[in-house]
Amino acid sequence: MDPALIAALAGARHVVMLTGSGTSAESGIPTFRDAQTGLWAQYRPEDLATPEAFERNPRLVWDWYACRRELVEAARPNAGHDAIAELDGLLHRFTLITQNVDGLHQRAGSPTVIEFHGNIMRSRCTAGHPADTVDESGPRPPRCRRCGALLRPDVVWFDEAIPGDVLATATAAVDDCDVLFAVGTSAVVQPAAGLAAQAQRHGALLVEINPAPTPLTEAADFALTGPSGCMLPKLAAALRTRRQSCLT
Ligand code: OAD
């Protein structure tokens, strides 16, 4: 691990980390742009995760999310998620923003997670009511117990706005940070992808972790080329060692 990066992190006032679906790849959850398999091989996620797709065929979209929920339930956080949870205690101030809808950061123990694109384990009514209990035994999608409207996954679809409070909290953290990590994201979906440039505009360091190049790689101050389940534990170990040597 580059000692200059570890020194920068140890001295940082506020570190923000933006994660994408690559962070969950080593938990067996395919990334968004991976080809789908089985029944779903004929569809692209971009064609299912939209308000138009749900309007056209709500059952198809509901069933696709039900299948992804099963995958998430069977998955476990990987070493990358665990290291991120540890970073929270190793850094002066740490804010985690995730584009992932799988809840694996919370299951790994990250105390506060800004869920930029929602969470597939939650549902909500298309007329706006929260759905605390979902009856999966009847017609799909189930209907809202209060108003009878269809339920949908509580996620942000393509062409939908990020909820105002979520966007405000995330951008305030990015405006305040001195280091921004982009981990496991192809950095092509806005507005999340723009958070890196936003941080760099006010002088924050940009650190990328990804096995493949992205539109951010050239502009990154540090590009750690490799899977997050390998790079993040190394990073956490280097910070832990530095902390111990400062204490002794
Ligand atoms: P993508 O599928 O676009 O990108 C996944 C990224 O993870 C790629 O850059 C891969 O190189 C990288 N990757 C693969 N394996 C990895 C590993 N083991 N460790 C680290 N990185 C790895 O997923 P996102 O960038 O998350 O939005 O996509 C962003 C958003 O687009 C998603 O939240 C979703 C999607 O469409 C909505 O649903 C609104």
Quick check: helix, strand or coil at residue 52? Answer: helix
CA distances, 164 to each of 33, 116, 161 (Å): 26, 10, 8
User: Is 217 within 8 Å of 182 (Cβ atoms)?
Assistant: no
Helix (H) or strand (E) holding 158, with range, is none
Which domains are delineated in the chain? 1-29+77-117+162-248 (3.40.50.1220), 32-74+123-155 (3.30.1600.10)
- Mean pLDDT calculated for residue range 196-210: 97
Rounded distance from Cα 45 to ligand 1 centre (Å): 12
The per-residue pLDDT for 245 is 82
| Summary mean pLDDT of the chain | 93
Task: Determine how many CB atoms are found less than 10 A away from the CB of residue 115.
Answer: 23
Rounded distance from Cα 246 to ligand 1 centre (Å): 36
State both tokens at 117: 């694109």
- pLDDT, tens digit, for every residue of 59-99? 999 999 998 999 999 999 999 999 999 999 999 999 999 99
- Mean pLDDT calculated for residue range 203-231: 97
Residue 21 pLDDT exceeds 80 = yes
The per-residue pLDDT for 220 is 97
What's the pTM value of the predicted model, to 2 decimals?
0.94
Residue nearest ligand 1's atom 7 by CA: 22
Rounded distance from Cα 80 to ligand 1 centre (Å): 14
The pick from 36, 100, 185, 217 for probing ligand 1's pocket by mutation, whose C-beta has the most ligand atoms within 8 angstroms, reads 185
Instruction: Clarify whether 117 is annotated catalytic.
Output: yes
The per-residue pLDDT for 14 is 98
